[in-house]
Amino acid sequence: MTIGLGKCQFCQTESAPLTNWGARAEALLEDLAACSEAGPGVTRLPFTPEHRAAIDFLRSLMEAAGLTVDIDDAGTLVGRYEGPPGSKTLLMGSHLDSVREGGAYDGMMGVVLPLLALEKLRSDAVSLPFSVELLAFADEEGVRFPTALVGSRALAGTFDPAVLSMQDTQGITLRNAMKSFGLNPDRIDALARGPADVIGFVETHIEQGPVLEREGESCGVVSAICGIERHQIVVTGETGHAGTLPMAGRRDALVSAAAIVAEVDRLGQSTPDLRATVGSFTVAPNMVNAVPRIVRMTAEFRSPCDETRHHAGKTLRRFTEKLAAQKNLTIEANLTYAQVAQPCDDKLSAHLCEAIQKADANGLYLSSGATHDASAMADLCPIAMLFVRCQDGVSHKPEEFTSAHDMGLAISALAFFLRKLGSTTDHI
């Protein structure tokens, strides 16, 4: 039995071994980038006309490829290749939504490349002893609504129905947006998959960083998705006239806040595998001739090692306690968000590494500092991620770019990975 994939709409003939798969991917992504609001780059928010256009385009491609296609009640487009009766299912895919004025590759490439890998297997007359579902999730970025990973959490059984009441900037709730899109959000809980039926989830994504480019590698294997914690910090001192208040005894909130910024940077610079950022910072009264009274700021730590991240957070809290006593002011530091690190599955990752090496790369392992749908899917099944090099490490901008060469190598690697997985029995 061979994979029942159909004709290529670009060459109008059956896919052949000489197909330039990277060029195919480039052409598809260019067409899909047009499913966007007007303006620079790609703006495709979930449950909008632009989202619908992308779904319709991908549905036609999946159906032409012989996949059975449906959209679930979380808005995930699902294209299924049916394996032998009773076989388990490998899940692959990524997300369709974008940030505002983002790029053409983030998320969407992780749907297109696995589809082309399946087509490549058909062209090579290869059959698989398991089923494959290609997933195109609706909302990973969390731009329209203050929540994210809706589709992947639904499949993993960790979806929180409370988020359905969240509103976008127009006052539209997530529930109503989904209903207007033809979905039934009250049935999302029924989408949870059983782990016994799933081999794993494999996500392909641009790196969104400079490591692969710096190392001269087209592709890499993700070792873990970093854990994240965020702290909201409020420094409260006392204001006064900048010209008349003596320096001695001042309770300047900004001076202490600056010390906290320096401490966050010190932790990031001195701790291996830790990313430390102060990303939000406001000052009041924010006048040229007044001593700052209050500063509100955030501190974020990311690491593939939860212990490293926890230690950074505890160190920062101890620092703020001592600083408050020294400067005679008040500092509140509260943990507002925490997400554990998700290590990738050793066996699936080893197969991916071998596949990359067969496709003429070294099989570099690297961690992901960004969150992906795979981090939610880890609550359901083993996960693995394939990173593809992006130019200058740029992402979430119109300049985001991945070459046809690198995408072609990734497609070959994914095809080899599927063949390799089909020849083993440890996951099937």
> Residue 149: left if φ>0, alpha if ψ -120 to 50, beta else—which one?
left
Reply yes or no on whether the pLDDT at 104 is more than 60: yes
Tokens 């040229």 sit at which residue?
288
pTM: 0.86
Reply yes or no on whether the pLDDT at 191 is more than 60: yes
- Residue ranges per structural domain of the chain: 21-225+343-422, 227-339
pLDDT score recorded for residue 243: 96
Q: State the burial class of residue 93 (Cβ atoms within 10 Å of its Cβ: 0-12, 13-18, 19+).
A: buried
Compare 8 and 383 and report the one with higher pLDDT.
383
In CATH, the number for domain 227-339 is: 3.30.70.360
pLDDT in tens, 309-327: 999 999 999 999 999 999 9
pLDDT score recorded for residue 413: 97
pLDDT band at 122 (very low <50, low <70, confident <90, very high): confident
DSSP 378: T
Phi, psi of 131 (to 5 degrees): -85, 160
Reply yes or no on whether the pLDDT at 14 is more than 90: no
- Architecture of the CATH domain 21-225+343-422: 3-Layer(aba) Sandwich (3.40)
Closest CA to 226 of 152, 306, 158: 306
pLDDT in tens, 197-252: 999 999 999 999 999 999 999 999 999 999 999 999 999 999 999 999 999 999 99
- On whether the CB atoms of residues 160 and 120 are closer than 8 A, the answer is no
> How many C-beta atoms lie closer than 10 Å to residue 337's C-beta?
11
Reply yes or no on whether the pLDDT at 124 is more than 70: yes
- On whether the CB atoms of residues 92 and 132 are closer than 8 A, the answer is yes
pLDDT score recorded for residue 175: 98
Total number of residues shown for the chain: 428
46: tokens are 């979930």
pLDDT band at 428 (very low <50, low <70, confident <90, very high): low
- On whether the CB atoms of residues 96 and 54 are closer than 8 A, the answer is yes
